[in-house]
Amino acid sequence: MTFSIATLRSLDEYTFVHSLNVSVLALVIGVESGLGRKGLIELGVGALLHDVGKAIVPVNLLNKPDELTDQEMAIMKLHTIEGFQILRSQPGVSLLSAHVAFQHHERMDGLGYPRGLTGDEIHCYARMTAVADVMDALTAPRPYRRGLLPDQARNLVASLGGSHLDGVYVSILVNRVSVFPAGTVVRLASGEVGIIARQSPSDPARPVVRVLSDQSLQPVAPYELPLDRSPDKSIAELLHDLPDTLRSRSARIPSRD
Ligand SMILES: [Fe+2]
């Protein structure tokens, strides 16, 4: 196991962080689906290591900004088979966890790879992980595309339920995951910067934002803006941190629920 996680991190930071996110999201689905302790461990290990087979894919291919050629795509697809081979040979790793690596790019409609399995032919752990994988991958900026906002990713994942992804697991994740967690720093389309204060019960995609700055990033007396009741306002961007002009003020923000 230690070997596999170290291998994962050495691939590139994106794959490592993505894998952690996928395992958390897959476990949300697993818990909601009623998996027991053993099942959750098998799922969590499989989801955490689902991309470990990318160890055989050259890094310049993983991060290639342009579309992959057919030949490059064929190499990329091998990460499923390679991941299966790596995990099945690890003592202590369940064969079902290894199948998550093997099957996480299969699709419900049979258009996935490496074997073109359909529906229930795909193990439920792999179907759960596929939903988590797509959800997290869509939000991450990559060299070949910008990341979507979480609510946009959520809508896109919802549209893939039934054809590409398992519709039941899609519904679970879409309904359970907070697309804009409290504490997230956001910039509104109108330019103001604020922090997500809490969710709106009526619409998870339009939370309550505690606005901290005006459009010029100058501090204002903080106020709460419920986006579900402000149709002319919307979130344009997630920020990694507060702008410098707001740093001192952030220390006085009470902790959120
Ligand atoms: Fe993958």
Backbone angles phi, psi at 242, to 5 degrees: -70, 145
Backbone angles phi, psi at 248, to 5 degrees: -65, -35
Q: How far is the CA of 120 from the centre of ligand 1 (A)?
A: 19
Residue 10: pLDDT band with limits 50, 70, 90: low
Question: Token pair for residue 245?
Answer: 């002009």
Domain 2-176: assigned CATH number: 1.10.3210.10
Q: Is the pLDDT of residue 252 over 50?
A: no
Listed as own residue / partner, the contacts of 208-213 with beta carbons closer than 8 Å and 24 or more positions apart are 209/235, 210/253, 212/242, 212/246, 212/249, 212/250, 212/253, 213/243, 213/245, 213/246
Q: How far is the CA of 62 from the centre of ligand 1 (A)?
A: 11
Residue 6: pLDDT band with limits 50, 70, 90: low
Please report where in the chains the tokens 């900004």 appear, as a residue: 65
pLDDT in tens, 66-102: 889 999 999 999 999 999 999 999 999 999 999 999 9
Find residue 194's DSSP bridge partners: 186, 211
Quote the pTM value: 0.78
Q: How far apart are the first and last CA of the chain?
A: 36
Residue 102 to residue 86: CA distance in whole angstroms: 10
Domain ranges of the chain: 2-176, 185-250
Q: How far is the CA of 240 from the centre of ligand 1 (A)?
A: 26
Q: How far is the CA of 161 from the centre of ligand 1 (A)?
A: 18
